[in-house]
Amino acid sequence: MSSKGLINLIPLAGKQLLRHRVRTLLTLLGIGAGIFLFTLVESMQGAVSAVTGAQASEATLVVFRENRYCPSTSRLPEYYAEEIAQIDGVREVIPIQITVNNCGASLDVVTFRGVPPELLHRYAPEIEVLEGSLSTWQKTDDGALVGKNLADRRGLKTGDSFAAAGVRVRINGIIESPNAQDNNVAYVHLPFLQQASQRGLGEVTQFNVRVEDPAMLDRVAEQIDDRFRSGESPTFTQPESAFFARAAQELIELTRFTRWIGLGAVIAVLGLVANAVLLVVRGRVRENAVLQTLGYPDRAIAWLVLLEGLILGLVGGLLGAGCAWLFLHFSHLSFGNEGQIMAITARLDLVLRGMGIALILGGVASLYPAWVSVRRPIVESLRS
């Protein structure tokens, strides 16, 4: 069938759907709900990929308290930094304090990272200040640089006061970074956070240790743990990449079941479109026979049914994916566990993917109804 003929059938397919407005509307709402769920699941899986795919330095070790399961349980003396720096192969040691408002799984995790202000550019070199001033933050003891996602979620702007986990700060700037974690935390001065979190000066959560050569990672890590094995706070040291993978493992487990939800949504949409189009075909047996009598070939009738399914899929997909994008854009959802944060952001490519899936499902679901519409003899259809 020519492309011109197909284009001419589109208005007719639309009119056929509008003849049964209530059924068409309910079908569109069902498709929209399924694609809405599918888009949310895909957004969550994308957020997991962003966390697990974080760019870890190949020459950085993370040192924290042995048997640590939450940042609040990792307490290391700050003077460990001086002893670690004396180990052969160590280039730099950055002490870090981490405080979170909820160590367990939560949809609203606020993480404070305390770092020496003069070392922030070394710990997070990729951050960009969107609002406010970095110099102001360096001069203000209780100042904070807040990630863009956290600021949007809490409705924060430069100059505001902000309190969480027993820590109150004044926002000196809004930052953004290619590293997803930087966009969901608040950077503060290390001494301020040590006192504000009531842990006192001289105690930190972890050390980031940069070595001279990536080939030395294992040797340096072993020497660090050996040095403090019998000390007041035994340590556990691992490469930064392994640290990210371990921290994100529970997030992966918590979101793994969502794949089944996405699959269920796709199957539901497929069945819904197939049922709706099949009902339309069964209600138009005589009308299709009349069209065939007037000279419409079987392939034109089949294409008419297919176009109805494609229109339902496209419009329902646009409705569901569009609503999912608006929901994520304005809700600024995030999911965290043990201080590791996963931001679920609205992405245009996922909206387009959801619409594409709905369109494909609409076409696939219409194949059987299209075959049913042309398989009966004209005379039998006219008598039905």
Mean pLDDT of each 10-residue bin along the chain, 384 residues long: 69 79 86 89 76 61 84 87 93 91 71 91 88 91 92 89 90 88 89 85 91 88 92 87 63 69 82 78 63 69 83 91 89 67 78 89 83 65 55
128-133 CB contacts, 8 Å cutoff, 24+ apart:
128/175, 128/176, 128/177, 129/173, 129/174, 129/175, 130/173, 130/174, 130/175, 130/176, 131/157, 131/158, 131/173, 131/174, 132/158, 132/171, 132/172, 132/173, 132/174, 133/172, 133/173
Residue 117: count other Cβ atoms within 10 Å of its Cβ: 21
Strand ranges in the chain using DSSP code E only, listed in sequence order = 60-65, 76-77, 90-100, 111-115, 128-132, 143-147, 161-164, 167-176, 185-189, 203-204, 206-211, 235-239, 334-337, 340-343
Return the residue matching tokens 């921290």: 247
Q: Based on the number of CB atoms within 10 Å of its own CB, is 15 exposed (0-12), middle (13-18) or buried (19 or more)? A: exposed
pLDDT at 188: 95
Q: Where are the domains of the chain?
A: 3-51+254-383, 67-233
DSSP, collapsed to helix, strand or coil, labels residue 12 as: helix
Q: What is the pLDDT of residue 178?
A: 81
Distance CA 100, CA 1 (A): 63
pLDDT tens figures, 263-313: 788 888 888 788 877 776 666 656 666 666 666 677 777 788 888 888 988
User: CA nearest 100: which of 166, 21, 18?
Assistant: 166
The CA–CA distances, whole Å, from 157 to 136, 141, 245, 332, 353 equal 15, 18, 32, 15, 33
Residue recorded with tokens 């990630």: 147
Confidence (pLDDT) at 166:
85
Burial of 384 (0-12, 13-18, 19+ CB in 10 A): exposed
- Structure confidence at residue 320 (pLDDT): 92
Helix (H) or strand (E) holding 262: helix 258-282
Res 377: pLDDT? 59
- Rounded to an integer, what distance in angstroms lies between the CA atom of residue 373 and that of residue 284? 9
Rounded CA-CA distance 303/351 in Å is 27
SS3 state of residue 102: coil
Q: Output the six-digit token pair for 332.
A: 């600024």
Is residue 68 a contact partner of residue 352, using CB atoms and an 8 Å limit?
A: no
pLDDT of the residue at 21: 84
pLDDT at 169: 94
